[in-house]
Chains A and B, each alone.
Chain A
């Protein structure tokens, strides 16, 4: 935890400096007759972020915040495995939305999660994995007319549209 605390504070400080630099693309000072420039607000807020990081670092040196006193691992083996399997799964899910479209990706993601991470039976897995995209389609594409991307599966949906509209 202790090491993670200072590394995070350092990374966040870098982010703050980048945001401050990026804000200077617009005027950060006071323009007569126009008020503060467009960069004024984000610049000083990012400066505030940087100061907070410095403060966090001071607390780290003085060992004042709980994470800076803790010897516990920031991510133990369970946490790391969970982050890779679950976080990685969600990342792959979103990536698949570009290729298989939302509905195909939902099907694959649910099968992966429920069957392989949750170790539920195949009938339960398939029932949930197939119902969910169907309900989502009826709700978003048909009821709300918010068309979710279909990727390469687009042709499969054309007869459905003919049926509903």
Chain B
């Protein structure tokens, strides 16, 4: 019951007038960002993080978390009315949301998406509140080898479960980690990797420079190139009566909502997975257990509810390892973690003991933001649809301006703005060749934490790497990480054997 008391305190902190205002602005901005094709939660959080230096860290975090939530709701709006996902997390919502809209039932699809998102978010919040404190107290006993093993596990999930080209995923991880090591050596203070003796590298490469480069500039170039300005919109007829009727009808999708809510949370916890695969999996499972799977893809309410419940649930799930272990569960939470480091908060289990107000205020805000997002979403659907008419040739230059200004504000050095441009264009060019970019962002955030842990562990064991396998907690984690890295290899061998059998038979 102690948890309930802490949660009540947290809700009161979140109900501070400044926080309420920030949550409202946050969910509204998030809805807009999520709805705009080409922008998702990760872009919004990366580009707007420098703007939060105005308010105290706890409020800044509440604001950014609200954007994260809002974006999960917003993605559905363009998936349904435009037929293209507003964010990668809403890809699965197009499968049934678009057919419903083409049948003239855009209102039903939009309302179902909002209600399912709310249920998914609520279920995940309860699971989060129940799991976070015990997990944090277990993690308190973790030493350097355990934390390094956990980071290894985070990267291993990208290789084993990420589904992208493996050498390219590895390249992305290594690149992010090397970029994180530029600047002064954390342990000896010696200058390191100062390219061309340019003094701008002395203060290291801030993770925001890479994140805004990739998710601001790179993403815009990518979107302009891939959409080529072809968008068509389906009108949604909306009135209060129709919304209420749609609310009743959306209950038909309860099975999808339930599956999405629980599955999404646990998939969200995994570092490589996050909301996008979570929503796709929820769609797949709901279709599999449905009595008439043939209706899916033609406008089934459950097909809209499942991915929408899952992506909201997964975004909360991704917060769990970020707050309790200091290991982000998604690219967006990686950026939130980097923000916490900038604000001088040490992420990890200690946070629950030393920064109780911060942690519980944030958890309390999850509940309130989720409710706000539902209300703002349902009340302003017509407004968001109207805003979607904003031509991309106006939105794109605004994002470029925000990226450049935000990149400067983060470190106040023009050197970093140029570096951001190079990363942005580079990310666009590499992405065209299927190089995944998310692992690099995770790596540049985790790099400065991982390196000292590794070096201290090796110092402790006088250079023997077996320390990671011999300790009771880090051992199993390291073994799981190694298995995950080797997983694609096992699959390859199995496929080869199957191929041989098929050839012989």
Chain A 1-40 interface mask (CB, 8 Å, partner B; 1/0) = 1001100100010000001001101100010001110111
A30 near B401: Cβ-Cβ < 8 Å:
no
In angstroms, how far is the closest chain B Cβ from the Cβ of A64?
9
The 5 closest A-B pairs by CB, nearest first: A118-B393, A35-B459, A55-B167, A113-B397, A52-B171
Question: Which of A8, A22, A83, A93 is in CB contact (< 8 Å) with B221?
Answer: A83
A113 near B396: Cβ-Cβ < 8 Å:
yes
Residues of B within 8 A of A86 (CB): 220-221, 224, 396
Residues of B within 8 A of A59 (CB): 165, 167
In angstroms, how far is the closest chain A Cβ from the Cβ of B403?
9
B171 near A49: Cβ-Cβ < 8 Å:
yes
Residues of B within 8 A of A139 (CB): 51
Chain A 34-75 interface mask (CB, 8 Å, partner B; 1/0) = 111011111001101101110110010000011100000011
Q: How far is the CA of A120 from the CA of B391 in the complex (A)?
A: 9
B404 near A114: Cβ-Cβ < 8 Å:
no
Chain B 370-387 interface mask (CB, 8 Å, partner A; 1/0) = 000000000000000000
Q: Is A152 an interface residue (CB 8 A)?
A: no
In angstroms, how far is the closest chain A Cβ from the Cβ of B424?
8
Residues of B within 8 A of A8 (CB): 429-430, 433
Question: Which of A19, A114, A120 is in CB contact (< 8 Å) with B193?
Answer: A19
Question: Which of A51, A67, A118 is in CB contact (< 8 Å) with B394?
Answer: A118
Q: Is A144 an interface residue (CB 8 A)?
A: yes
Question: Which of B54, B217, B398 is in CB contact (< 8 Å) with A90?
Answer: B217
B417 near A94: Cβ-Cβ < 8 Å:
yes
In angstroms, how far is the closest chain A Cβ from the Cβ of B486?
15
Residues of A within 8 A of B433 (CB): 1, 4-5, 8, 67, 74
B401 near A67: Cβ-Cβ < 8 Å:
no
Residues of A within 8 A of B404 (CB): 90, 93-94, 97, 102
In angstroms, how far is the closest chain B Cβ from the Cβ of A6?
10
Closest A residue to B53 by CB, please name it: A144
Closest B residue to A80 by CB, please name it: B225
Q: How far is the CA of A110 from the CA of B401 in the complex (A)?
A: 8
Residues of B within 8 A of A104 (CB): none
Q: Is A134 an interface residue (CB 8 A)?
A: no
| B residues 409-434 touching A (CB-CB < 8 Å) | 409, 412, 414, 417-418, 421, 424-425, 428-430, 432-434
Q: How far is the CA of A148 from the CA of B393 in the complex (A)?
A: 25
Q: How far is the CA of A120 from the CA of B433 in the complex (A)?
A: 33
Pair count A-B, CB < 8 A: 172
Given A40-B455, A41-B451, verify A144-B54 contact (CB < 8 Å): yes
Q: Is B131 an interface residue (CB 8 A)?
A: no
Q: How far is the CA of A162 from the CA of B434 in the complex (A)?
A: 52
Instruction: A22-B195, A49-B171, A94-B404 given; name 14 further pairs at CB < 8 Å.
Output: A35-B187, A35-B455, A35-B456, A45-B181, A48-B174, A56-B165, A82-B221, A82-B225, A90-B217, A110-B398, A113-B397, A114-B394, A118-B393, A119-B393
Q: How far is the CA of A159 from the CA of B188 in the complex (A)?
A: 47
A102 near B54: Cβ-Cβ < 8 Å:
no
11 A-B pairs in the complex with CB atoms less than 8 angstroms apart: A35-B187, A35-B459, A48-B174, A56-B168, A74-B432, A74-B433, A90-B217, A90-B404, A94-B421, A106-B405, A120-B393
A38 near B188: Cβ-Cβ < 8 Å:
yes
In angstroms, how far is the closest chain B Cβ from the Cβ of A74?
7
Q: How far is the CA of A22 from the CA of B178 in the complex (A)?
A: 11
A97 near B417: Cβ-Cβ < 8 Å:
yes
Q: Is B192 an interface residue (CB 8 A)?
A: yes
Chain B 422-449 interface mask (CB, 8 Å, partner A; 1/0) = 0011001110111000000000000000
Q: How far is the CA of A114 from the CA of B165 in the complex (A)?
A: 37
Q: How far is the CA of A139 from the CA of B167 in the complex (A)?
A: 43
In angstroms, how far is the closest chain B Cβ from the Cβ of A151?
11
A149 near B174: Cβ-Cβ < 8 Å:
no
B221 near A144: Cβ-Cβ < 8 Å:
no
A94 near B418: Cβ-Cβ < 8 Å:
yes
Chain A 111-137 interface mask (CB, 8 Å, partner B; 1/0) = 001100111100010001000100010
Residues of B within 8 A of A149 (CB): 408, 414
Given A109-B401, A114-B397, verify A42-B181 contact (CB < 8 Å): yes
A109 near B400: Cβ-Cβ < 8 Å:
yes
Q: Is B104 an interface residue (CB 8 A)?
A: no
Question: Which of B177, B221, B405, B459 is in CB contact (< 8 Å) with A102?
Answer: B405
Q: How far is the CA of A69 from the CA of B114 in the complex (A)?
A: 42
Q: Is B293 an interface residue (CB 8 A)?
A: no
Q: How far is the CA of A56 from the CA of B228 in the complex (A)?
A: 30
Q: How far is the CA of A66 from the CA of B1 in the complex (A)?
A: 54
Residues of A within 8 A of B456 (CB): 35
Closest B residue to A37 by CB, please name it: B188
Closest A residue to B443 by CB, please name it: A45
Given A45-B177, A66-B434, verify A87-B425 contact (CB < 8 Å): yes
| B residues 116-147 touching A (CB-CB < 8 Å) | none
| B residues 348-386 touching A (CB-CB < 8 Å) | none
Q: Is A143 an interface residue (CB 8 A)?
A: yes
Q: Is B487 an interface residue (CB 8 A)?
A: no
Residues of B within 8 A of A53 (CB): 167, 171
| B residues 280-334 touching A (CB-CB < 8 Å) | none
Q: Is B190 an interface residue (CB 8 A)?
A: yes
Q: Is A146 an interface residue (CB 8 A)?
A: yes
Given A19-B193, A41-B454, verify A114-B393 contact (CB < 8 Å): yes
B192 near A144: Cβ-Cβ < 8 Å:
no
B394 near A146: Cβ-Cβ < 8 Å:
no
Q: Is B175 an interface residue (CB 8 A)?
A: yes
Best-buried of B178, B220, B400, B429 by chain A (most CB within 10 Å): B178
Residues of B within 8 A of A128 (CB): 394, 398
Closest A residue to B193 by CB, please name it: A22
Q: Is B458 an interface residue (CB 8 A)?
A: yes
Q: Is B170 an interface residue (CB 8 A)?
A: yes
Closest B residue to A35 by CB, please name it: B459
